Structure 1
Amino acid sequence: MIPRAEFLKDILADLRMAASFVTILPVASSKPAADGAVARATWALPVAGLLVGLAGAFVYKAATRLGLPPNLAALLTLATTALITGALHEDGLADTADGLGGGRTRERRLEIMRDSRIGTYGVCALILSFGLRWSALAAIASPFAVTLALCAAHTAARAGVPAFMSLVPPARPDGLSASAGVPPGRSVAIAFALGTLVLALTLGPGKALASLILLSLAGLTLARLAIRRIGGQTGDVLGTFEQLGEILILLVAAAFQVGH
Structure 2
Amino acid sequence: MSRLSHQFQLFLCAVQFLTRIPTPALRDFQPDWISRSARYFPLVGLLVGGGCAAVFWSASLIWSGWLPALLAIAAGVLITGAFHEDGLADTADGLGGGTTVAKRLTIMKDSRIGTYGALALGLTLAIKAAALATLPAGLGAWTLVAAHGAGRGASVLAMRALPYVGDAKVGKWKPSPADLSLAEVLTAVAVAGLPLALSPDGVVGLAILIGAILALAVSLIARRLLGGYTGDVLGAIEQVFELGFVLGVAASLGVANTFSRT
Aligned to 2:111: 116
- Residue of structure 1 equivalent to 2:90: 95
Q: In the alignment, which residue of structure 1 is the partner of 2:19?
A: 23
Q: What's the secondary structure of 1:180's corresponding residue?
A: coil
| Alignment partner, residue 195 of structure 1 | 192
The answer to whether 1:163 aligns with 2:157 is: yes
TM-score computed with the length of structure 1 as normaliser: 0.90
Alignment-derived partner of residue 4 in structure 2? 8
Match of 1:241 in 2: 237
Deviation at 1:211, TM superposition (A): 3.2
Structure 1: gaps spanning 5 or more residues: none
Q: Deviations for 1:25-71, whole angstroms, at most 9, x for unmatched residues?
A: 12263445325322221111111111111111111222222x21231
Query: How many residues are matched?
Result: 253
Task: Tell me: CA distance 1:28–1:233, structure 2 relative to 1, closer, same or farther (3 Å).
Answer: farther
Counterpart among 32, 41, 48 of residue 45 in structure 1: 41
Where in structure 2 are there 5+ consecutive unaligned residues? 257-262
> Residue 258 of structure 1 corresponds to which residue in structure 2?
254
Q: Which amino acid aligns with 1:124?
A: L
In the aligned structure 2, how far is the partner of 1:176 from the partner of 1:32? 21
TM-score (norm 2): 0.90
Mapping of residues 150-229 of structure 1, within 5 Å: 150-174=144-168, 175-177=171-173, 179-204=176-201, 206-229=202-225
Determine if contact 2:204/2:249 at 8 Å carries over to the other structure.
no
Distance change in 2, residues 1:120/1:36 (3 Å) = same
**Equivalent position of 1:135 in the other structure:** 130
Give the counterpart letter for 2:107 in structure 1. Answer: I
Aligned to 1:148: 142
Contact 2:211–2:243 under 8 Å retained in 1: no
Deviation at 1:138, TM superposition (A): 0.5
Residue 11 to residue 70, structure 1, CA distance change in 2 (3 Å): farther
Given that 1:39 and 1:184 are in contact with CA atoms closer than 8 Å, whether structure 2 keeps it comes out as no
CA contact (8 A) 1:13 1:29 kept: no
CA drift at 1:18: 1.3
Indicate if the aligned counterparts of 1:70 and 1:137 stay in contact, CA closer than 8 A. no
The CA distance in 2 between the partners of 1:100 and 1:157, in whole Å, is 21
CA distance in 2, matches of 1:112, 1:35: 27
Among the aligned pairs, what percent are the same residue? 37
Shift of 1:148: 0.7
Q: Which runs of 4+ in 1 moved over 6 A?
A: none
Question: Could you tell me how far 1:201 is from its partner in structure 2?
Answer: 1.9
Q: Would you tell me which structure has more helix in proportion to its own residues?
A: 1
Q: Separation in 2 of the partners of 1:192 and 1:74?
A: 27
Bigger CA drift: 28-37 or 101-110?
28-37
Deviation of 1:114 after TM superposition, in Å, equals 0.5
RMSD after superposition: 1.8
Q: Is the 8 A contact 2:166 2:176 kept in 1?
A: no
Deviations 1:183-220 (A, max 9, x none): 2211101111222232232344x533333333333333
C-alpha contact (below 8 Å) 2:203/2:253 kept by paired residues: no
* CA 1:180–1:28: 2 relative to 1, 3 Å: farther
Q: Quick one: which amino acid aligns to residue 223 of structure 1?
A: S
Bigger shift: residues 80-89 or 55-64: 55-64
Q: Is the 8 A contact 1:18 1:48 kept in 2?
A: yes
CA distance in 2, matches of 1:61, 1:184: 37
Q: Cα 1:159–1:123, aligned 2, differ >3 Å: closer, same or farther?
A: same
Between 1:32-41 and 1:240-249, the stretch displaced more is 32-41
Question: Following TM superposition, by how much is the alpha carbon of 1:247 offset from its aligned partner in structure 2, in angstroms?
Answer: 0.3
- Output the CA distance in 1 between the equivalents of 2:49 and 2:36: 23
